[in-house]
Amino acid sequence: MTKTIDPALQAVVDGTLADPHAVLGAHTVRGGVIVRAFRPDAIAVAVLHGGERAELAAVHPGGVFAGELVGAALPLDYELEVAYADGNTFTLRDPYSFAPTLGELDIHLAGEGRHEEIYAHLGAHVREVGGVRGTGFSVWAPSARTVAVVGDFNSWDGRLHHMRSLGSSGIWELFVPEVGDGDVYKFEIRTQGGELVLKADPYAFATQHPPETSSVVHVPAHTWKDDAWMAARRESGEPPLDQPISVYEVHLGSWRRSPDSPDEPLDYATLGRELAAYVKEMGFTHVELLPVMGHPYAPSWGYQVTSYFAPTPRYGSPDELRAMIDVLHGEGIGVLLDWVPAHFPKDAWALANFDGTKLYEHADPRRGEHPDWGTLVFNSGRNEVRNFLLASALFWAREYHADGIRVDAVASMLYLDYSREEGQWVPNEHGGNEDLQAVALLKELNEVLHAREPGVISAAEESTSFAGVSRPTYLGGLGFGFKWNMGWMNDTLRYFAEDPVNRKHHHGELTFSLVYAFSENFMLPLSHDEVVHGKGSMVEKMPGDQWQKLANLRTLYAYMWAHPGKKLLFQGLEWGQQREWKSEQSLDWHELEDPGHAGVQQVVKALNQVYTSTPALYEMDFDEAGFDWIEAGDAEQNVVVFARYGKDPTKDVLVCAMNLSPTPRPGYRTGFPAAGRWTKLLDTDATSFGGSGFAEAQEAVETEPTEWHGQAQSAELNLPPLGVVWFVPES
């Protein structure tokens, strides 16, 4: 007679049991405890308990063994002794003998999308359970039939470590003894259609080096040395709106490479030393790193993220990135990170179709895909997805001490019809084109980030006229601290690209930004986007011969630093790198041997030095009282003059006079806001900067009671060709 096979045991062997703990492990029976173990390919299994050894019987030919321990009781502390036909015998702890490592409150908060530290519970976490060291694995995959964790520790055999389903939460969990720091793993997910897919952990803290795609168990070991920095950040309370912010934007892989290994980027440790020293010397207050989050495709520069809680291993380990940030903080330099919640790539091993369904992305292709980038759009209306993104932003501020985030491609999040034609998008519930779910996500992001991490910066790359991007959410805004001023960037570069003989016809492009300059908390960006994809380098955008190009560049930067708004400059722009930026090779540092390029670099250094020590240039960036036109209409001579004021306008004031023509303007009379002697603080045409030195002799001016430009006082300035001069009252 054929013996009937228990369906539960068959499900264990087939890998279709959603709760393997209900069958495997130790369970109370009358008179003792029964232990079941699934060890496919084993020839014998025994239980080691209390100094005794008990053989288990094979109860299923697929590798299920079971046996009763008479008189035993739960909880049972035991090991399994497993023998194989090749003569090898292994002793191991049974992963099915441990209770869940996730608490009910964690599961509840995750389901509501309110678990701000969900990354501390989902993913892989080394811990001790019942005196046993191992790793607790957990993953959200609500539509999966089964989930197993696989890795080197089980020879990538998904039969050995099936996870248990934690009910309606959609979370699967398993504690695996003896797995620890550095172990490689993935999740093997069986979809409802029966397909097996291998997925990297969305909450992994570390990843393999591309092109390998597995997750890596990671235990942070870095000891932070920036307590004073972090305390000062928290005590500041609010975003630093009235502080100097001069940001140096960096792509770590191409900023600098060793001449001995030009095909290899520097590591985090070397970057920490060299970048911190350079940024400090140049006087920038912050660095902003193009995304350091894990990304498989290097030419995406990090903007196609697959790991929202793990840094790219291209430059070293997670702890080495922490150490790099620590070094920057030690030199008084803040660190901003680019962060990408707008889209993610379609890589089959990552977030796309994670559990066989559109889990992280929208199911409707009219909402779920970005037509421009070939990527997927997060379904921010889903609690768990929103929680994933909010926790990611908090994670980098907390676990990596990042001083803020710059959110990429915000415009693409705000509009349902972004880059879509009629019929390719779905209106919102009010019939409009705003993505109300994404708007709600961004508002919550800024509320949570600023409330939980006081003093951090949040900046939006937002290129439209969407109202209130940097206004508080209680006033109806999105709550960002800053918004990139893309209008200023586009208008200014168009103006500077014009031959000076034509600039009088484009004068408005230079002055128009002041019409809206105080409608948002603007950051003025000259970023990587302006020197790639055939746009040419910044210096090559300038007209004229080489001397004029560099003079225009010095003038552009002086105008930028004097204009209301915080500053951002991409690597290489500070000396006017001649060629367009290429992410796969080092910047052309050798160009600094040329006096012209070195002069541009020295201007930027001088601008930062003056900027950070002159309250008139930063205290009132977002208040109309901090700016006043003196001469905005002299298009014929390409001259612009304006004043900047600090909180004490009687003491903190600066006059900026610009000559955007290659023709010197000797004796150009201009109004001044106060009587007295005014000292020249900056001259971009100085010979030390590679200029002509036309106005170097005029180190100061004494005003006269001659009304000019609507001012009661005036003086005659020598305006250098394609140059800018700054004057401040003599103290």
Provide the annotated active-site residues: 408, 461
Q: How far apart are CA 554 and CA 546, in angstroms?
A: 12
Strand order across the beta sheet in which 123-129 lies: 123-129, 132-140, 171-177, 164-165
Q: How far apart are CA 310 and CA 216, in angstroms?
A: 9
Q: Where do the H-state alpha helices sit in 43-160?
A: 104-112
Largest CA distance in the chain: 118
The candidate with the shortest Cα–Cα distance to 316, out of 417, 411, 206, is: 206
| Contact present, 239 and 458 (Cβ < 8 Å) | yes
692, 721 in Cβ contact below 8 A? yes
Provide DSSP, 464-520. Answer: S--TTTTS-GGGTS---SEEE-HHHHHHHHHHHHS-GGGGGGGHHHHHGGGGTTTSS
Question: Rounded CA gap, 548 and 554, in Å?
Answer: 10
Taking alpha carbons only, the member of 219, 23, 15 closest to residue 127 is 219
d(CA 200, CA 92): 26
**Of 195, 258, 229, residue with least CA distance to 587:** 258
Q: Is the dihedral of CA 270, 271, 274, 276 positive or negative?
A: negative
Return the SS3 of 370. Answer: strand
Sorted by sequence, the CB contacts under 8 Å of residue 547 that are 6+ apart come out as 596, 690
User: What secondary structure, in 3-state letters, does 214-242 show?
Assistant: CEECCCCCCCCCCHHHHHHHHHHCCCCCC
Place of tokens 């993935």: 186
The encoded tokens of residue 257 equal 């490479």
The token pair that represents 331 in the structure block? 């030199």
Residues in CB range of 360: below 8 A, 6 or more apart: 202, 344, 351, 352, 354, 376, 378, 379, 385, 388
Q: CA angle, 699 as apex, 680 and 511 as ends, to 5°?
A: 40
The Cβ-side half-sphere exposure at 103, using a 13 Å CA radius, reads 6
Cα dist. 454→234, 331, 450, 541 in Å? 5, 21, 5, 40
Q: At 255, is the secondary structure helix, strand, or coil?
A: coil
Contact by Cβ (8 Å): 152, 168? no
CA–CA dist 615, 193 (Å, integer): 64
Distance from C-alpha of 662 to C-alpha of 595, rounded to nearest angstrom: 20
Structural tokens at position 234: 């928290």
As beta bridge partners, residue 70 has 32
